[in-house]
Amino acid sequence: MRRRELIALLGGGVVGRQLAVCAQHGGVPVVGFLHYASPNKLTHLADAFRRGLQETGYIAGQNVVIEYRWAEGQYDRLPALAADLVHRQVSVIAAGGSVAAQAAKNATTTIPVVFTSGADPVATGLVASLSRPGGNVSGMSLLAAEMATKRLELIRDLLPRARAIAMITNPAYPGSHSEMAEVEAAGRSVGMQTHRVAASSPRDLDSAFTTISQLSADAFTVGADGFFITRREQFAALAAQYALPGIYPFPDFPESGGLLSYGLDLVDAYRQAGIYTARILKGAKPADLPVIQPTKFQLVINLKTVKALGLTVPPSILARADEVIE
């Protein structure tokens, strides 16, 4: 450790714990990476996190160690995985997803936590405020739910005759209620009826599409829950089976065969989380790091899916697209 970094850690009051961890790994700090998914599903996000660390001077395997804990899509495993990282006295916990972030926050009040959260981090109690988080937690707000109005406007532009839309939410996701409220408000603003359909398991998703079909919804939209990202291929298959247009919160969905997405660049959010983690390793305190809110949003369209559904994308939407998948 450099002398300046040691002084910063002393000022943060956590030097004893961090020096103990560093001693176990030859003086190299250890970062715990806690995630709701499985490594084979979202490796690109872990890669982005490492890039953020590297941009700030930390290279995994050289001057920082990363211990990965994947919940394999089972939210109930996250508390135990978080507790294990706390027991190992890691220097920082990087928590991917709202549920993982809450598990890490519940597990420790001293180890810094850097999150990426689609749910409102203030409403769910992760931080006191966006500008002054307080405590040991800060990170990236994905602002996914707040994009509901834009997504419904895109559906209206794509399907001018659409009058009803289904919103698929996961009751286990902390932001599901506020997310649905946002969609309902957006529906009223664009003159569209909204239906809530719950799903928290792969089998639930099959049932959800049966329900949407019975509701005669013209299209569906998907919540920002991490579980849904891990099931993006299933979403694409079911949407094709029922010939239902869907709009999603992240580019991962159209890249896997979904129709279109509007939201932030999730890969960049994880890169930013890596940068924040590096800043904390260098002595910054989470309480002093404002929660980052994205300013750039992406519209991604899968033209193959457009054609399969027999749709025509208006030139106005194509002109706004950041990426068109052929």
**Which of the residue ranges 111-115, 295-299, 322-326 would you say has the lowest mean pLDDT?**
295-299
Vertex 296, ends 159 and 227: CA angle to 5°? 70
pLDDT (mean) for 293-315: 92
- Strand partners for 166: 195, 220
- The pLDDT, as a whole number, for residue 25 is 54
- The pLDDT, as a whole number, for residue 172 is 85
> Looking at this protein, which amino acid is placed at residue 50?
R
Q: What does R_g of the chain's alpha carbons equal in angstroms?
A: 21
Report d(CA 153, CA 219) in Å as an integer.
12
**Which of the residue ranges 17-26, 38-47, 149-158 would you say has the lowest mean pLDDT?**
17-26
Cβ-based neighbour number of residue 99 at 10 Å: 27
pLDDT over 70 at 321, yes or no: yes
Cβ contact 259:246 at 8 Å = yes
| Average pLDDT score, the chain | 89
- The pLDDT, as a whole number, for residue 226 is 84
Helices (H), the chain: 3-12, 15-24, 43-55, 78-87, 98-107, 148-158, 176-190, 202-214, 226-230, 232-241, 252-255, 266-281, 303-308, 315-320
CA atoms within a 13 Å half-sphere pointing along the CA-CB vector of 301: 22
Question: What tokens were used for 96?
Answer: 């991917």
Q: Is the pTM of this model over 0.85?
A: no
- The pLDDT, as a whole number, for residue 173 is 84
Number of helices and strands in the chain (H, E): 14, 12
pLDDT over 50 at 190, yes or no: yes
**β-strands 65-70, 30-35 pairing:** parallel
Q: Hey, is 55 helix, strand or coil?
A: helix
- Percent pLDDT > 70 in the chain is 91
Sequence-distant (6+) residues with CB within 8 A of 146 are: 182
Reference 158, options 294, 321, 23, 269; nearest CA is 321
Report d(CA 108, CA 86) in Å as an integer.
7
Cβ contact 239:258 at 8 Å = yes
Cα(first)–Cα(last) distance of the chain, in Å? 49
